[in-house]
Structure 1
Amino acid sequence: MFRPGHVEVSRPASKGFPGYHLVLDYHVEGPEQQPEWACFHLHGEVDRMTIDDQFSMHRDVAFNFLQRIRQCLHKHGVPLHHDVLFGFHGIYDPLFEDLRRQLHGMPGESVDLERLLREA
């Protein structure tokens, strides 16, 4: 389920896949015309493990948030042999579009490669 600033994904456990219910809340911070940060709060449960993590990313690398979510899940001991938790484009396409709108992101905008590598 998506609404601006909020995404929820759920799936019951099945053979080879953990059950989960995860919520990703997000907002931007900084001047209204040029926000500088995307702030994320990932919380919920994966395979009966509680997840509650917050992180911020600079606007130019914020669209790489799925990598940071993967790191958060790994840090909490979630088995990541399958990348299915956040692979639903029907849910995430509107999220990317909303984040792009809130950050005033433009196609082709440059990314600080050093920052991307540091935050990856």
Structure 2
Amino acid sequence: MFEPGHLNRKKQPGMPGVPDYDIDVYYEVRHDPKEGVLLHFRLSGQVAGQSVAEEFDMHRDTAFNFASRLAKAAVKLGLPPNASPIMRSHGEYDAMFADIRKKLNVNPGDPVDFDHLDKDGC
């Protein structure tokens, strides 16, 4: 389920080898005096009956690599690499991408600082 600033994912039937999970992904724009505009992500919920939580920031110019960064966070929380909750519904991914673009006021062709890719774990 997606709504601006929030995505919820639960394990779907027919996913052998994937533990039960129910994860919420929240994101919001933050302003850091040193780093500038950041997109803050907070994941919380449960994986295999255990409470999980993870938070991280991404710079404005690299935030569109959020699916990769969320997949890495999901693995850290105990999900297999092929069970990333972000890619289970392409329509919701598109809506989240559009919402992030709007929140950050980013346009195609805006420059990317490649140092941010490293800092953001992309």
TM-score by shorter chain over 0.5: yes
CA contact (8 A) 1:12 1:20 kept: no
Residue type at the aligned position of 2:55:
Q
2:29 maps to what in 1? 28
Q: What is the CA-CA distance between 1:98 and the residue it aligns to?
A: 0.6
5+ residue gaps in structure 1?
none
Aligned residue pairs: how many?
116
Q: 1:84 to 1:55 in 2, by over 3 A?
A: closer
Q: 1:5 to 1:17 in 2, by over 3 A?
A: same
1:57 maps to what in 2? 58
5+ residue gaps in structure 2?
none
Partners of 2:115 and 2:75 lie apart in 1 by 23
Partners of 2:67 and 2:48 lie apart in 1 by 19
Q: What is the CA-CA distance between 1:13 and the residue it aligns to?
A: 5.4
Taking structure 2 as the reference length, the TM-score comes to 0.81
- Counting only pairs closer than 5 Å after superposition, residues 98-109 of structure 1 correspond to structure 2 as 98-109=99-110
Taking structure 1 as the reference length, the TM-score comes to 0.82
Are 2:95 and 1:86 aligned?
A: no
Partners of 1:93 and 1:78 lie apart in 2 by 22
1:47 maps to what in 2? 48
Q: What is the CA-CA distance between 1:113 and the residue it aligns to?
A: 1.7
Q: Percent identity?
A: 34
